[in-house]
Amino acid sequence: MMFCTGKKDFPHGGKEITYYVLSPNMQCIATGSNEDGSIVVWTITKDLIVKYDNSLNANDLERALSADKFYTEDFEVDFAILDITTKSVQILSAQGLEGYTEHTFLENGDLAIVKGDPVYRAYIFSKSNSDGKHKWTCKNIIELEKFNSCHITKKGKSFLCFEIPGLVMQWDLITRKFDMRYILNFGISLSQIKLSFDNALLAIRGFKEGVGINVSIYLTKSGMLVATSKKFRCGSKS
């Protein structure tokens, strides 16, 4: 893979890249630098050449949010999508959306947001193009059961975790159908959930007080536990 800036200035002002995120369709990559607060978007061509397209620094971000009256003391509890090309911002609006959530962009281009206490809902936003401007609209609101934590994949699978009685419920946010349930070992607190590339296996990483880290592998077709691994704390019994 080859990187090409195509511009005289250096991305991130020559600062070190701290993190990166790939788009769900694998056609773009965004890099960020903690040193100057900048974000750069690169396009990945069919020839695997990564081209420098657009950038955004901390001042651009503050100006965009301030211009939309979004940059206030309570701005952390609101949601907005920032167009890195036009540097314009749109606040996402839906009943009960405020506060901490889990969110991810899906492979079909939609944005999925799951909100816990007190509303317990999933919000699906889709993008339209009107007069050359992108607009995000909430097209679906899905009522959910009360859960302890939630994980969302780019394929639209949501995993609702219930520490009591120790279950993970898998739902498809696109079809709005229940997929599967996975039974956990008693007392496990979840920390991470991952699907295999072919969606055949589900890995659940958790922690049990006084024991240590537990990783369990399940079949997504049946919910059957097929493998488990434990990493015990020093001094704990196996």
pLDDT computed for residue 218 by the predictor: 94
Residue 131 structure tokens: 């007069």
Exposure on the CB side of residue 92, measured as CA atoms within 13 A: 25
pLDDT computed for residue 110 by the predictor: 92
pLDDT computed for residue 1 by the predictor: 44
Domain ranges of the chain: 1-56
Q: What is the pLDDT along the chain (238 residues), one digit of tens a residue?
A: 444 555 555 777 788 889 888 877 777 888 888 888 788 888 877 776 667 666 666 566 555 545 444 444 444 446 778 776 777 778 888 888 877 778 888 988 899 999 998 999 999 999 887 776 778 899 999 999 999 888 898 889 999 988 777 889 999 998 989 999 998 876 777 778 888 888 899 998 888 777 788 888 999 989 999 998 877 555 544 4
pLDDT computed for residue 238 by the predictor: 43
pLDDT computed for residue 143 by the predictor: 92
Best CA proximity match to 175, nearest among 200, 155, 150, 197: 155
